[in-house]
């Protein structure tokens, strides 16, 4: 994956060659919705000080970089004695033409935030720049000391006070060059302000006038640049009362709760570059025998076979009207992408448990090779049956086994006791550790069957050894702006390729309820 250098701007500067400031405040997101957590910064002891992230304009060095409760505190030096550009920047700071700090970094670990943006928990800091417009309003320069000046003026920016009794030791500045630089900075500010006034996909996390989200805009352009149902999402058919593109609507977006299956957390998940995986399989071992001193040895050989796992494909598409994309109070593209991700995840989890059709991955509950253990009752789970089922599994799998069932079955299990009155189910007393049944962890799979006659509501086994998932293509959403362009619609195609199946049937046992 190609690393991408990200720019986050925000700071204020004081008046001298030595600069101290808050390069990034913790606890609040920036203008594009990104929030950097405390402890995320991985920075060298020294990083370059640039102007406007231009590597050709190195103007100083940051040699003190510290994380505090408030944020990333930095201290550095403008090389005003050696670099002419550093002296010009100092003059711009005094005139308040530039008033911000900006960090350039590569993200190492992040997760999406509801409503837009990310929570970044790990990054590599590469540089800190002085800029005209900060990305984070709270990142400010708190002081700037000149080499011959007195104490810094904390938390403010003031024009230099002239004192006719004190000689001025600063170098002479070319006023024509300074005027030209100011004109260039003002022109850039005008462009930024004009860009900020353009209508973008709404982002409810940002105050009015702060919607210049380059990542959201790029994603919107990408989506505009691409058949569940021909009934498209448009303003004219935007449900009763104009749900997505109203005249005035709350910023909160209510979503249906989608339960996802945790099969991936317990199974063996791998990636593949082919449409079919062939797995060699040993069917038997050798046949060694005891013999006398002069007796001949009998030969034997193991037998082998192979099994095949095929990669399956899941697809759908959604049509969205251009008006809806442009006029919606929410980021419609992001909501459609989230809905597709939730749908694909739910369907995938269902197939991993109960998949039996030729076009879907093979589920472990439908594999005929897994042995069943009779519960002995149609509607009540027998505690002795669970114990017998567990110990019917070979020890190599039993010692790494996991129970799987749905919430209804788990509720029934929690009421069961052994012959000494002890509950079979035990809660977790340590954060991050699962609940257990008979000392082995249990996971809740929403797609498992309920307790009823002839049902199979429980499975126990070593999922890492026995069930394998192969990812071929992650969920991909591709826009098609041409297919329905004359109708004012953009079609979003979504597809996913994944295969799965049981590779060791002897690593599992299923509980079978008796007939009524």
Model confidence over 428-486: pLDDT tens digits? 666 667 788 888 999 999 999 999 999 999 999 999 999 999 999 888 888 898 999 99
- Is a pLDDT exceeding 80 seen at residue 177? no
Question: β-pairing, 312-321 with 41-42?
Answer: unpaired
Q: Which of the four pLDDT bands, split at 50, 70 and 90, describes residue 153?
A: very low
Greatest CA span in the chain, whole angstroms? 118
Instruction: Say if residue 70's pLDDT is above 60.
Output: yes
Nearest by Cα to 120 from 44, 42, 68: 42
How many CB atoms within 10 Å of residue 43?
20
Residue 436 burial (CB count, 10 A): 16
Q: Mean pLDDT lowest for which of 41-45, 69-73, 231-235, 376-380?
A: 231-235
What would the DSSP string read from start to end of 403-453? EEE-HHHHHHHTT-B-TTS-BSEE---STTPPPEETTEEEEE-TTSPPS-T
* Residue range 354-371: mean pLDDT, rounded: 93
Evaluate whether 7 touches 30 at the Cβ level (below 8 Å).
Answer: no
Closest CA to 157 of 209, 103, 97: 97
Average pLDDT over residues 341-347: 90
**In this structure, what token pair is assigned to residue 353?**
């448990």
Q: What is the mean pLDDT of the chain?
A: 77
The residue-averaged pLDDT of 304-314 equals 89
> Tokens standing for 73?
């505190």
Range of lowest pLDDT (180-184, 316-320, 456-460): 180-184
Q: How many residues does the chain have?
A: 516
User: By percentage, how much of the chain surpasses pLDDT 90?
Assistant: 25
Q: For residue 155, give both structure tokens.
A: 């938390």
SS3 364: helix
Q: What is the dihedral of CA 90, 95, 97, 99, to 10 degrees?
A: 70
Average pLDDT over residues 69-87: 84
Exposure string over 19-36, b if 16+ CB within 10 A, otherwise e: bbbbbbbbeebbbbbbbb
Segment (H or E) for 367: none
Burial class (CB in 10 A: 0-12, 13-18, 19+), 67: middle
Structure confidence at residue 281 as a pLDDT band (50, 70, 90):
confident
**What HEC string does 461-505 produce?**
ECHHHHEEEEEEEEEEEEEECCCCHHHCEEEEEEEEEEEEEECCH
Q: What angle do CA 244, 247, 251 make, to 5 degrees?
A: 55
Q: Which of 49-63, 67-81, 158-172 has the lowest mean pLDDT?
A: 158-172
11-35 residue pLDDT tens = 444 455 788 888 888 888 877 778 8
> What is the residue whose two structure tokens read 């060791």?
504
pLDDT at 55: 80
CA angle 400–405–409, rounded 5-degree value: 135
What is the spatial distance between Cα 378 and Cα 104, in angstroms, rounded to a whole number? 64
Q: What is the pLDDT of residue 235?
A: 55
**229-283+302-516: in CATH 3.30.2400.10:** yes
Q: Where are the CATH 3.30.2400.10 domain residues in the chain?
A: 229-283+302-516
pLDDT at res. 78: 84
| Tokens of residue 7, six digits | 């720019």
Mean pLDDT of 334-362: 90
pLDDT of residue 42: 77
Percent share of the chain, pLDDT over 70: 71
Alpha helices in 52-174 (DSSP H): 84-94
**Burial of 235 per CB tally in 10 Å (0-12, 13-18, 19+):** middle
Question: Residue range 159-176: average pLDDT?
Answer: 45
Three-class DSSP category at 213: coil
User: Closest Cα to residue 311, out of 364, 249, 358?
Assistant: 358
């Amino acid at each position: 994956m190609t690393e991408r250098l990200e720019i986050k701007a925000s700071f204020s500067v004081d008046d001298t060659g030595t600069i101290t400031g808050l390069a990034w405040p913790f606890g609040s997101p920036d203008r594009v919705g990104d929030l950097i957590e405390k402890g995320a910064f991985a920075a060298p002891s020294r990083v370059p000080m640039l102007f406007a992230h231009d590597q050709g304009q190195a103007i100083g060095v940051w040699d003190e970089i510290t994380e505090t409760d408030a944020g990333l505190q930095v201290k550095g030096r403008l090389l005003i004695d050696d670099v002419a550009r550093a002296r010009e920047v100092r003059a711009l700071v005094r005139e308040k033409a530039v008033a911000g700090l900006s960090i350039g970094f590569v993200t190492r670990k992040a997760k999406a935030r509801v409503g837009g943006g990310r929570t970044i928990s790990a990054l590599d800091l590469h540089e800190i720049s002085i800029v005209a417009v900060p990305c984070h309003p709270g990142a400010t320069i708190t002081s700037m000391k000149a080499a011959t000046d007195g104490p810094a003026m904390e938390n403010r920016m003031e024009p230099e006070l002239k004192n006719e009794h004190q000689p001025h030791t600063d170098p002479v500045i070319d006023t024509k060059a300074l005027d030209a630089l100011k004109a260039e900075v003002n022109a850039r500010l005008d462009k930024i302000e004009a860009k900020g006034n353009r209508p973008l996909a709404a982002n409810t996390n940002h105050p009015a006038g702060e919607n210049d989200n380059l990542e959201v805009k790029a994603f919107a352009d990408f989506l505009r640049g691409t058949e569940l149902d021909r009934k498209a999402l448009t303003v004219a058919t935007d449900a009763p009362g104009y749900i997505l593109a109203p005249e005035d609507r709350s910023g909160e977006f209510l979503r249906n709760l989608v339960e996802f299956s945790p099969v991936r957390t317990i199974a063996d998940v791998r990636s593949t570059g082919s449409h079919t995986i062939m797995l060699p399989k040993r069917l038997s071992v050798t046949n060694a025998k005891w013999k006398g001193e002069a007796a001949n040895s009998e030969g034997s050989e193991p037998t082998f076979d192979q099994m095949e796992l095929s990669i399956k494909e899941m697809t759908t598409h959604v049509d969205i009207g251009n008006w809806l994309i442009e006029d919606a109070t929410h980021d419609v593209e992001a909501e459609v992408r989230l809905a597709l991700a939730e749908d694909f995840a739910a369907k995938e989890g269902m197939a991993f448990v109960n998949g039996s059709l030729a076009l879907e991955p093979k589920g472990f509950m439908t594999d005929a090779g897994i042995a069943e253990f009779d519960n002995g009752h149609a509607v009540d789970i027998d505690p002795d049956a669970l114990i017998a089922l567990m110990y019917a599994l070979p020890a190599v799998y039993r010692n790494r086994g996991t129970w799987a069932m749905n919430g209804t079955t788990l509720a029934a299990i929690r009421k069961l006791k052994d012959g000494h009155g002890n509950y079979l189910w035990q809660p977790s007393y340590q954060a991050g550790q699962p609940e257990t049944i008979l000392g082995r962890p249990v996971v809740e799979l929403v797609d498992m069957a309920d307790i009823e006659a002839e049902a199979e509501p429980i499975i126990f086994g070593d999922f890492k050894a026995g069930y394998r998932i192969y990812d071929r293509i992650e969920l991909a959403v591709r826009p098609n702006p041409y297919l329905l362009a004359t109708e004012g619609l953009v079609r979003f195609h979504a597809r996913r390729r994944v295969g799965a199946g049981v590779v060791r049937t002897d690593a599992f046992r299923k509980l079978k309820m008796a007939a009524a």
